[in-house]
Chain A
Amino acid sequence: MMIYLNLFITFFKIGLFGFGGGYGMLSLIQHETVERWQWLSSSDFTDIVAISQMTPGPIGINSATYCGYTACANAGFSMPMSILGSATATFALVLPSLILMILISKMFMRFMHHHSVESVFRGLRPAVVGLLAAATLLLCTSENFSTPTENLWQFCISCFLFLAAFYGVKVVKINPIRMILYCALAGLVLLYE
């Protein structure tokens, strides 16, 4: 039962400190669910991000729902109990936003353009870039890419798909969802075992 309390506290914290939109939040989710609590493996997390990206709805909500479910399922809970886990994570993620935005609407609207508040945000912006960079680096694991000794073919293909996806989305501006579908197709053809 402790897992529900831990899920609540963890996702409440993520909602409270999740600056920089869905992607900024991913590095917090990754740190808490994979590194700290080890509810998910690195590849579980990557799969969740992929699915969250491809399905409608904000990425933050999608991945919280999914992480809550998978965390309970991995811990051996039944399906209804896992659903409760996903509800807990989603509710906890949304709660800080709800409280904070109501407080701001009620009394702090005029402070938002205050010098001190703007200074705080000026410090946060470059740090969020670092958070995203860390999330990228932390996902460069053998689970996601394989290794040259373990499976040289898969490793080379993985590196190629990484570069192709980066170039495709950043430079050619291919829609990320379409890019995921292309890479799924490439995986099916090249990495079938």
Chain B
Amino acid sequence: MKNNIYWESFKTFFKIGIFTLGGGYAMIPLIEEEVVNKHRWVEKDEMLDLIAIAQSCPGVFAINIATFIGYKLNKTRGAIATTIGTALPSFLIILLIAIFFSQFKDNPYVAAMFRGIRPAVVALIAVPTFNLGKRAQLNVWTIWIPVVSALLIWLLGVSPIWIIIAAGIGGYIYGRIAK
């Protein structure tokens, strides 16, 4: 029975890993369906809490959720099983592509396609910038934070890690003062 639930949770998150296309928030309904409705590993209210925590913590969202649920089922070993389950499909698929792509990269047709794709990818990263900005509810008093952060990284080559650390400390101090 114990072995069974390791395997069951590994399989479930393997499936979630395969079917997450485009990544991010698109996978929440699938996780809820599997984990809450089908297997009843977590209550619906608890799931909302887990999603909120997994989103605010660093790291890949899907991995964070997988670790939480794996740990809840079987402690540390359960967490390792679900984490491997989530990461494995990506790892295998990308590996296959990486091995073969290097052979097609210099093909003139493939090269032409990627010349068209590259500007689109830059746009695809620009879009969530605006979406996240909306969700962060930026206003006249906070808009300087992303602007200054972006300029520091872009023009002065400051590591984004320093920006993250500074923003976290800044938020903490501000919370102290405002309280």
- Does A161 count as interface, using CB distance less than 8 angstroms? yes
Is A179 a contact of B120 with CB atoms below 8 Å? yes
List the A side residues contacting B178 at CB < 8 Å. 119
Given A19-B58, A94-B87, A97-B60, A62 contacting B94 (CB threshold 8 A): yes
B60-81 interface mask toward A, CB cutoff 8 Å, 1 = contact, 0 = none?
1111100110011000100110
A131-175 interface mask toward B, CB cutoff 8 Å, 1 = contact, 0 = none?
111111111100111000000001001110111111001100001
Is B153 a contact of A138 with CB atoms below 8 Å? yes
- Does B1 count as interface, using CB distance less than 8 angstroms? no
Given A46-B122, A97-B60, A131-B160, A65 contacting B90 (CB threshold 8 A): yes
Q: How far is the CB of A16 from chain B (nearest CB, A)?
A: 6
Chain B residues within CB distance 8 Å of chain A: 17-25, 27, 53-64, 67-68, 71-72, 76, 79-80, 83, 86-87, 89-91, 93-95, 97-99, 101-102, 108-109, 111-133, 135-136, 138, 142-143, 145-151, 153-154, 157, 159-161, 163-172, 174-176, 178-179
Query: Per a CB cutoff under 8 Å, which of B72, B125, B170 touches A139?
Result: B125
Query: Per a CB cutoff under 8 Å, which of A128, A157, A184 touches B113?
Result: A184
Is B95 a contact of A140 with CB atoms below 8 Å? no
Count chain B CB atoms within 10 A of each CB in A27, A94, A106, A135 and give the residue with the most. Answer: A94
Can you list 11 pairs linking A and B with CB atoms under 8 Å apart?
A17-B58, A17-B164, A18-B60, A31-B153, A43-B114, A46-B122, A47-B101, A66-B98, A116-B175, A126-B167, A158-B119
- Does A33 count as interface, using CB distance less than 8 angstroms? no
Is B24 a contact of A101 with CB atoms below 8 Å? no
Query: Per a CB cutoff under 8 Å, which of B23, B53, B163, B172 touches A130?
Result: B163
Given A20-B132, A180-B121, A134 contacting B154 (CB threshold 8 A): yes
Is A192 a contact of B154 with CB atoms below 8 Å? no
Is A127 a contact of B149 with CB atoms below 8 Å? yes
List the B side residues contacting A121 at CB < 8 Å. 56, 171
Is B71 a contact of A61 with CB atoms below 8 Å? no
